[in-house]
Structure 1
Amino acid sequence: MPIALSSSETAEHNGLEQLYRDHHGWLQSLLQRKLGDVQHAADLAQDAFMAFMRPRTATVAPGGLREPRAYLRAVAHGLLVDHFRRQTLERAYLEALAHQPEPLACSPEDRHMVLQALQRIDKMLDALGARAREVFLLSQLECLTYDEIARRMNISVRTVKRDMQSGFALCIAAMM
């Protein structure tokens, strides 16, 4: 049985349909030029239009855009940044894996799980401000004490503690 839409939902659906028809080909071509890959460009173009369907991120109705291409270009730029970040992370992981002795090599399933975990960590760290991210990484990767971090970054120990608290809070939230 079809779902009945209200008049505002129907107008929004029609606006999205028109926006898609008018700009999908252009957006996909733009992404294809940047990526050099038809399939990834098609996926990212689709994701850009899907942004209108997500209630948490949709801030404007498709029909209410004054400059739809500028808006779509901005959404696509964010998607490209995420795509390239994931690619860089994957390449770095695979390169590190290639340098491991054969007995330590992971199965494809394990590799996939590790990559997903690294992407979640990267996304979590991206939610921190630049200073807090640097503080957190110095503590966790270089094993520096809070005093050492404060001296290195020329900030107070209290600021280091506050930034670490933010980092740990995001870690805990990501685990739940």
Structure 2
Amino acid sequence: MYALKDKEMIFVFTGPHGAGRKTVAEMSGSTLGMKQVISYTTRPPKATEEDGQDYHFISPAQFVQAQANGEFIEVSTVNDHLYGIKSADIERMFQLSGSIYLILNRFGAETLKKLYGDHVVQIFIYAQRDTLEERMKESGDSEEIASKYLSDYEAELAYRDQCDHVFENVDLAHTVFDLTKTLDKYLNRNLVDLD
């Protein structure tokens, strides 16, 4: 496992599926010059997803082999698909940037917090249940997939109490603005507020 240096920070974006974690994380990360560590998964890509950008899409056999080799620091199963983060990827991204971010479910967020303690800042992004249903429909998720994700909504929402910061993502620009200002306090980049 990679040993973090003093000022190295890991920002973990978590929250219910469809809340906009990925968009919010990417926009804030880009503004603050942070690099994303991309997870591996055995699930097939959605039509809008790209290998190496959204996830590293690998076969179950490749995943099991990497797991047997001890390459993953965190593994979870969601809807019968495996997800994992490689320690080598965390180390490589820290070589490119003093702070990194990941987009994870609550189990992954919890694991990273246990591993890296105060170096991990958990950011919970959520939206109301009916908003999530609407977003999932718009993104082309089937009714079956949407109800699978929403069946976990209450458990996901309960996890926000364990996170360092909570943002309801109603207005994307507003959420990203507030979040970027919050993260800047950890990074001391002294972004200028032009309001």
TM over 0.5: no
| Larger Rg, first or second structure (1 or 2) | 1
TM-score, normalization: structure 2? 0.24
Q: Which structure's residues are more often strand, by fraction? A: 2
TM-score, normalization: structure 1? 0.26
Q: Which structure's residues are more often helix, by fraction? A: 1
